[in-house]
C-alpha cells in the first residue's frame, strides 16, 4: 500500500521511483495498491485505475477506459493541459 509515493520528489527522483516500483512489482508478481494524483506515475506504473468521487467509486478499469469516461472532472484531469503532457 503506497500513499502518494512521488510526493515531494523532484522529477528525476519520481521517475526513478516509478521504474523501481514497476521492477519490484513485476519481479515478484505483486499487486500494488497505490494512491496518487501524479499522472506520470499512473501512466508508468498502473494497469488499473479507480477514480473516487463524492464518496463512491466512479470508475474502476484500465487507464484508457478511465480516461475516456464521459465525466467532466475525469476529462479535465486526463485531457487538460497537464494531462496531455503526461500521456
Kindly list the structural domains of the chain, giving each domain's residue range(s) and its CATH number in brackets, ordered by start: 2-86 (3.40.50.300)
| pLDDT value, residue 65 | 96
Which band of pLDDT confidence, cut at 50, 70 and 90, is reported for residue 53?
Answer: confident
Cβ within 8 Å of residue 64, ≥6 positions away: none
| pLDDT value, residue 6 | 86
| pLDDT value, residue 85 | 62
User: Buried b / exposed e across 51-73, counting CB within 10 Å, b at 16+?
Assistant: beeeeeeebeeebeebbeeeeee
| pLDDT value, residue 86 | 56
| pLDDT value, residue 87 | 54
Place of cell 521517475: 15
Amino acid at each position: 500500500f503506497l500513499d502518494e509515493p512521488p510526493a515531494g520528489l523532484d522529477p528525476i527522483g519520481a521517475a526513478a521511483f516509478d521504474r523501481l516500483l514497476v521492477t519490484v512489482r513485476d519481479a515478484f508478481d505483486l499487486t500494488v495498491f497505490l494512491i496518487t494524483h501524479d499522472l506520470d506515475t499512473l501512466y508508468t506504473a498502473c494497469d488499473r485505475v479507480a477514480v473516487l468521487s463524492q464518496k463512491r467509486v466512479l470508475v474502476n478499469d484500465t487507464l484508457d477506459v478511465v480516461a475516456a469516461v464521459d465525466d467532466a472532472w475525469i476529462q479535465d484531469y486526463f485531457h487538460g493541459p497537464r494531462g496531455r503532457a503526461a500521456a
